[in-house]
Structure 1
Amino acid sequence: MRALTYQGPYRVKVENKPDPHIEHGQDVVLKVTRSAICGSDLHLLHGLIADTRIGCTFGHEFTGVVEEVGHEVKQLRKGDRVVVPFNISCGACFYCQRGLTALCESSNPASDVASGVYGYSHTTGGFEGGQAQYVRVPFADVGPMKIPDDMDDESVLFLSDILPTGYQGAEMAQIRPGDTVVVFGCGPVGLFAMQSAWLMGAKRVIGVDHVPYRLAFAEQYAKVETVNFKEVDDVVMHLRELCGGRGPDSCVDAVGMEADGSKMHNLLGLGLKMEAGSPTALNWCISTVRKGGTVSIIGVYGPPWNLVPIGTAMNKGLTLRMNQCNVRRYMPHLLEHIRAGRIDTKGIITHRFPLEDAPHAYHLFAQKRDGCVKCVLTPNGASA
């Protein structure tokens, strides 16, 4: 098969790799119909995730058609169309039984931090990703959700990660009717967090970024106010003043380790690798939100540590909530929001490419060129 492969920091290419096959009775093999490039894939591309091995295939947002079925699989048959959560969960362990599928202890037993994840280094189990023509899906009766016959793949593609992640980010922000919410990051996850904040009754939503086309896109797509942090003297004080002097009721960090802001954190985290990325957005969230407010963290940070003002959070009486998204628990509910037209998932897609053009797509996405918000790949030549 043809598949995207990692060649070292800032370098990927598409080449031939062996077809995946059934390794366990609970596996299926999918023919991939759509695969997306996620912002967290850029952490891999830029060499920020430990144990990302040469030749591995990225991609944890994908849909596909079942091609092969393991003998223990009961829920799926050859020819079924499915969308697959990015986190791999067994459905039976302590955490899965509590709906915390992002913490599954069976799919990545070597780690006490995260579940297995498709295409996200050997720190999350070493599973191959879906930016390929075919992919093996373990625990196939647990994660994948069948795509309704009346819905196309692109309508449900983002149920694999970024829509549930944005929704969980808004949910963890404990939004009450009439609240003001600030979302740091106007990328795809931030956009879905903004839309979800409206669904949960927010009265006012403000998006923060520094890329003009992303800010304009957020205004048009998510109907939010925006702030370009490069155009104000002090973004924290500016946001507090916009919110009555106290600050917003909650802040959502939809940026993570590659935040563009503090020169010190960029040097320590992105340059010298002395902390797990740059926590600038998280620090701004803690400083911006009102006393007694909530900070929701859905931006990806790596272990083991970051310089974060925990004393400020304690003395302000903040609630900090964070997690990788427990995708499977949200998929049926969010499918109904999509079907009802309350969330326009396809509206964030700005670019579509065949798999062979994936390196170019990564370049556009990483460099924020050509108005790129979200790239979708068609690994098997499906029409866009």
Structure 2
Amino acid sequence: MSENEDLREEMRKAVADFLRAESDRRAAMDGDDGYDRALFRRGVADLGLGGLPVPERFGGLGLGFAEAAVVIEEFGRAVAPSPLPDTLIAGTLLGESANVGSLGEPGVALLERLAEEPVAIAVAGLTETPGRGPVVAAGGGLSGVVGAVPHGAAADVLLVISGEGDDAAVHLVSPEQPGVTRTPRRALDHTRRLADVELAGARADRLSPEGDGGALARRLIALARIALAAESAAAAQACLDETVGYLKVREQFGRAIGSFQALKHRCADLAVAVHGAVATAQYAVRFAATGEATDELGDDLATVAAVAKVVGADTLMRVAADCLQLHGGVGFTFEHDLHLYFKRGKANQLLAGSGPALRRQLAARL
């Protein structure tokens, strides 16, 4: 293993141990914010997770998206209610911009905050809202409504995408100002609360360089989709691992039900699907981390990200649904955690572009 691979494996173990010891997702789901602020603070203070993608000259660890994805995977494996994945995506984008010299003072100030204190960032504008147009930037302010923003009601900072296509841009918005209204909405996924964010001339700091042709916004969307793919694949693996363990100890007719051939074959099919999702997500993470415009097959990052997101979310949904059935009646109870993975899978299918929408986009490129 290379030095970077060793580092990522050490990070994976540290984050997994931290979540096992500290995370109480049931209590966090029922809390006012929908996530455990104390856990978020400990993750930043004890493990330095908030500053992971922040360049060293701003006080961070100076690591990249490949390392951030490891953390995102483990939070997905645990279906942990936390804004940290979106915070890491935002931090990665800011860090990359700083490294090429295109980040202004507001972005630099946020990087320095991420390195020093817990700052929850929500990314707004990834998911299309039927009947609503894009956020409009005019006169230094933003106006429009962004629906279904993960952890949007409790975030300390909003990263907002305005416009579309070549006119798309990324902005920093403080939610604690006149002109920003956040309305919590009912969400299927209890571990990831959603909010509608209404902007009425809200003050914003533009992060996208003038004339970048929407490149920064496309990069943000791609990173978000790959992050969803990574957490979905890890969650699917966790579902399958738990189910295989259950089938080994649950007995019927005097033997473990996992010894029945029909269930063995079903688990084997799920294992093949999970391995495919993991490989697809890992490929997308590696490609995004290189910063190259195209891969060896000539595909751009947007294409790779869309494929990974669709494969990951659909696999989690399939695996969680089958694992519910393999558990029998106990799998359908609220007390069992399988329904959390099932709901996360459905939410991931819809966030940052639905499966049908992304498939249409991919088909149009053929």
Quickly name the TM-score band, shorter chain normalised. under 0.3
Q: Going by fraction, where is strand more abundant, 1 or 2?
A: 1
Which one has more relative contact order, counting CA pairs under 8 Å at least 6 apart? 1
Q: TM-score, normalised by structure 2?
A: 0.28
